[in-house]
Chain A
Amino acid sequence: MNKRLLRRLDFRLIAVVACIVIISIVIIGSATHINTPSDERYWYVQRQGISAILNVALALFLMNFDYKMLQGYGNRLYIFNIIMLLAVMLFGHAALGAQRWIAIGPLTIQPSEFSKLIMIIALAAMLEERVGKINTLQDLLPIAAYVGLPFLLVLKQPDLGTSLVFMAIFFGMIFVCGIKLRLLAGIFAFGAAMLPVLWQFLKDYQKMRIMVFIDPNVDPLGSGYHIIQSKIAIGSGMLFGKGLFGGTQSQLNFLPENHTDFIFAVVGEELGFVGGAALLLLYLVVLWRGVQIAKDASDVFGRLLAVGITSMLAFHVLVNVGMTMGIMPVTGIPLPLMSYGVSSLTTNILAITILLNIHMRKTKLVF
């Protein structure tokens, strides 16, 4: 790689992301009882650690390519994405009531994770020419249809969480594309009016999740259990936490999914408000850098990419952390860079890599 390009790496972003990944591996260790003797105690930490290293290698490799070439692959990626999502529907295997995984050799991957990133690239490529030209419903419809197809496929899995991420990406990107605010307001008004209709389409367990979000005690041992135990875990961490490996809620298994979706509750319980707030501030730096990189991008495609990625990450952080603290419904979307999961980690590292790439090529290089 060009030495001058290397000098333009966003070291702040790299440092912050590295911090989050290291914290993630430590907390996954705590959540999976690494301090209790057992044959398999390193399993999760090993997997997450190895994928982190492999991802860094992949990122270094990808930095050699200019992100601008992605623009030409937009439609092909889009079609690949549709095929992949269809494959999940046809060949995927179910877990926890949803069909989200497909097996490729020894790996089980979760295509909906990658499809978020693919959507960002495809949408950025599509929107590049439409900046400032989304003024009427007719202007918007093709874009909506473009996003709508994969959206529905993911919704069908069912993966409400990821489909909502699609919405967040979609709105974030068309917002920066200069969609007429009146049109945007109209869509929101229409969406709000459609909520009761959408409710009919929700599965029973999804309805229950919304209901326990409003009041976890309607089903304290069932759907409300996660929220209640998670709030207890975080709240009982108090200011300084119970210490690493010291969280009773997490260590004694009162907190379910503590290494995946509810990992923030482990941080809150063991490291307290101080630790939790510090982690959130690290996320703020990532997101803030995302916005800055969008601003400084050398072209529209790069800016839209950065906006899409930032929207995705922000929505994930908001919904996941909000869920663990009872201010967002349980939708099963992971905390980026923190939750255990190879697909999720890879997607997010790739997203960060794209941000770094945009930043590195932000202005014409002067030799």
Chain B
Amino acid sequence: MVEIDEYSGRLKALGYIVVFVVAILIARAGYLQVYDGEYYAHLADGNRIRIIPSMAPRGTFFDRNGQLLVENRPGFTVSLLPLSAKIPDDVVTRVAELLKVPKEDIEKKIAAHIGFDPIRVKQDVTEDIVTIIEEQKEKYPGVVIEVQPIRNYLLMEEGAHTFGYVSEISEDELERRKGEGYRSGDIIGKFGLEKIYDSELRGENGGEQVEVDVAGKPVQRLGLKPPVPGNDLVLTIDKNLQEATERAVDDQLKLINAHGAAAVVMNPQTGEVLALVSRPAFNPNLFAHGISTKDWNAINNNPYHPMDNKAITGEYAPGSTFKIVTGTAALTEGVISPTDKIFDAGYHWIIPKSNAAGEALGWIDFTEAMAHSDNVYFYEMGNRLGIDRLEKYARMFGLGEITGIDLPYESDGLVANRKYKWKVFEDDWYLSETFDAAIGQGFNLVTPLQAAMVMGEIAANGKRYKPHLVNRIVSPEGKTIKEFQPELLSELQVPANVIQLVQNGLHEVTKVGTAAGVFAGFPLDIAGKTGTAENSQGRDHGWFVAYGPFNNPTVVVAVVVEQGGYGSQSAVPIGRKILEAAFHVTY
């Protein structure tokens, strides 16, 4: 004992070390469990709690008469629950084999996945796959079947541009709309009404909160939240008229071997859109469960742009349909009286611009000039008004700005004016450009919807109603949540008799003028105007705008046929068929 006792201090030191060791460990435990406990509790929950979402059925679309247009059908999606550990390789292999999906694709999806929502492997699988997975649960730990309603567009390509389409939310959209409760894997409206009314249509996803073990095997259900279906839309569209319009356009395109066209049918007294067609079209069902590369390429490589809704985004020179604006301006400004005649020698005396087909009509008044779409008369009106007054009236009709229809990507068109010329060409305005503008050529650009609106304002005695596609939003229980009333946007500041004169001129178009041939024997009185838009890229575009019945208009139509040549030959026959369908004309 003697020799070691001189080192008893060392023993004391050992005692201190031991106390120190335990103190360190207790301090660390305190830090983890008390100071940082909430954080780790959260992580522990993240480990064990999974939400298996059940997607809310999207609201359906009905036409104005209650006919179903767009609905959902049940679809089964196979998903993997993300785990804290690596998803076992043999499970991935088995799933790949069962679903006939390349294993690398699944691995890529797993690698790219962030968060704890299920990783969707394959959508819309058949029921026997569902049965296999449910019966052999042990072989497929962490594999779940989600019931996902799949969008079903009953009319296929018809109305595609109006209804739009849905597909999985993109990363960009997710980033932008995170605050609105969108989650990765959600189905979102990408186009058309699906996009504009997405927040109404999507409903509220429900889900099952389950506790899983480390293999992803559900151990117990912690909670259940049933999904709330989205609200339904009752559209202003008339299914029968829509289908008739589609057919009329298709038949005519086939007949004259053209490919692009658009048609708008509206009620001028309310702004309700009754039919909206754009050609070529696409089948929105292709997008509902992920479009295949082949289908996507077919759409993308089509030179006539099937994905464009030409009715609202196509911009065309208005051609002679613009004479409605020029004529209204001329009469209102008093640069000519309705009975004053202008001598048409086939060309104008200041600048030798001629009529479209080189004809010369001699002495003509306003009504005759409108009926026969006389260029020389309207060149002179342009000459007397000047470009600034033409611009003022075009804007009064609502041209050069979007109409505000409830569809995405609407174009605003262009009203010919000095400022634009100077901005783009850095040049002064020339009289010949006023001549061009007066007959709707040159710089002027309108969309088919804008053309319909201009015609509609004449039909509605100067009233301009906001175009819209939805009449009512209805809850899943059938309660009307919102009803869209006609919204008066503006009124033409012109005397009533001027509008009447323009109406009469347009009436004459269908009786003795440019559309009289096609409308021969039509049982109702209507008004119309043909047009031919010069196209530097190829054949001219044909226009036709019309409304009827003449005395109490309830339907206004605008049709454009891309590269269809004269409006009277390309667009007018479509217009007649649409009006026949609208007024149930049978022979």
Closest to A222 in B: B86
Q: On chain A, which size bracket covers the interface?
A: 35 or more
B481 at the interface (CB under 8 A from A): no
- Which residues from A are CB-within-8-Å of B6? 132, 178
Choose among A132, A229, A327 the residue that contacts B28 (Cβ–Cβ < 8 A). A327
In the assembly, what is the distance between CA of A225 and CA of B83, in Å? Answer: 12
A158 at the interface (CB under 8 A from B): no
Closest to B19 in A: A284
A264 to chain B, nearest CB (A): 9
- Which residues from B are CB-within-8-Å of A249? 44, 47-48
CB of B14 within 8 A of CB of A310, answer yes
Stretch in A81-89, A98-106, A268-276, A351-359 touching the partner? A268-276
In the assembly, what is the distance between CA of A221 and CA of B88, in Å? Answer: 12
- Which residues from B are CB-within-8-Å of A322? 24-25, 28
A73 at the interface (CB under 8 A from B): no
Q: Which residues of B, 8-47, contact A by the 8 Å Cβ criterion?
A: 8, 10-11, 13-15, 17-19, 21-22, 24-26, 28-30, 32-34, 36-41, 43-45, 47
- Which residues from B are CB-within-8-Å of A51? none
Choose among A172, A236, A283 the residue that contacts B22 (Cβ–Cβ < 8 A). A283
Choose among A172, A273, A318 the residue that contacts B33 (Cβ–Cβ < 8 A). A273
B351 at the interface (CB under 8 A from A): no
- Which residues from A are CB-within-8-Å of B47? 229, 232, 248-249, 252, 254
In the assembly, what is the distance between CA of A287 and CA of B11, in Å? Answer: 12
**What number of residue pairs across chains A and B have CB atoms under 8 A from each other?**
159
In the assembly, what is the distance between CA of A140 and CA of B91, in Å? Answer: 58
In the assembly, what is the distance between CA of A253 and CA of B41, in Å? Answer: 16
In the assembly, what is the distance between CA of A283 and CA of B219, in Å? Answer: 36
Closest to A285 in B: B22
Stretch in B52-60, B206-214, B338-346, B457-465 touching the partner? B206-214
Q: Which residues of A, 225-242, contact B by the 8 Å Cβ criterion?
A: 225, 229, 231-239
Choose among A237, A254, A311 the residue that contacts B37 (Cβ–Cβ < 8 A). A237
CB of A237 within 8 A of CB of B18, answer no
Stretch in A17-25, A144-152, A299-307, A342-350 touching the partner? A299-307
CB of A291 within 8 A of CB of B11, answer yes
A42 at the interface (CB under 8 A from B): no
CB of B18 within 8 A of CB of A284, answer yes
Interface mask (A296-334 → B, CB under 8 Å = 1, otherwise 0): 001110010001001100100110011001010000000
- Which residues from B are CB-within-8-Å of A172? 14
A243 to chain B, nearest CB (A): 14
**Chain A CB within 10 A, most for which of B30, B36, B43:** B43
CB of B214 within 8 A of CB of A231, answer no
Q: Which residues of A, 184-230, contact B by the 8 Å Cβ criterion?
A: 221, 225, 229
CB of B48 within 8 A of CB of A277, answer no
B497 at the interface (CB under 8 A from A): no
Choose among A225, A252, A276, A295 the residue that contacts B8 (Cβ–Cβ < 8 A). A295
Q: Which residues of B, 210-254, contact A by the 8 Å Cβ criterion?
A: 211-215, 219
Interface mask (B240-276 → A, CB under 8 Å = 1, otherwise 0): 0000000000000000000000000000000000000
CB of A178 within 8 A of CB of B4, answer yes
Choose among B24, B33, B39 the residue that contacts A268 (Cβ–Cβ < 8 A). B33
A201 to chain B, nearest CB (A): 28
In the assembly, what is the distance between CA of A322 and CA of B22, in Å? Answer: 10
B3 at the interface (CB under 8 A from A): yes
A115 to chain B, nearest CB (A): 23
CB of B214 within 8 A of CB of A176, answer no
In the assembly, what is the distance between CA of A359 and CA of B36, in Å? Answer: 42
A131 at the interface (CB under 8 A from B): yes
CB of B25 within 8 A of CB of A234, answer no
CB of B3 within 8 A of CB of A310, answer no
B85 at the interface (CB under 8 A from A): yes
B426 to chain A, nearest CB (A): 60
In the assembly, what is the distance between CA of A101 and CA of B85, in Å? Answer: 29
B211 to chain A, nearest CB (A): 7
A155 at the interface (CB under 8 A from B): no
- Which residues from A are CB-within-8-Å of B214? 252-254
Q: A235-B39, A291-B14 are in contact. Are A277 and B29 (CB under 8 A)?
A: yes
Interface mask (B345-382 → A, CB under 8 Å = 1, otherwise 0): 00000000000000000000000000000000000000
A114 to chain B, nearest CB (A): 24
B323 to chain A, nearest CB (A): 72
Interface mask (A253-279 → B, CB under 8 Å = 1, otherwise 0): 110000000000000100011001100
CB of B10 within 8 A of CB of A236, answer no
B300 at the interface (CB under 8 A from A): no
Binding site for A on B (CB under 8 A): 1, 3-4, 6-8, 10-11, 13-15, 17-19, 21-22, 24-26, 28-30, 32-34, 36-41, 43-45, 47-48, 84-86, 211-215, 219
Could you list 18 further interchain pairs (A-B, Cβ under 8 angstroms) beyond the known A176-B11, A273-B33? A132-B4, A172-B14, A178-B4, A234-B32, A238-B34, A239-B37, A249-B47, A252-B212, A273-B29, A277-B29, A280-B22, A284-B22, A291-B14, A294-B14, A295-B8, A300-B3, A318-B21, A318-B25
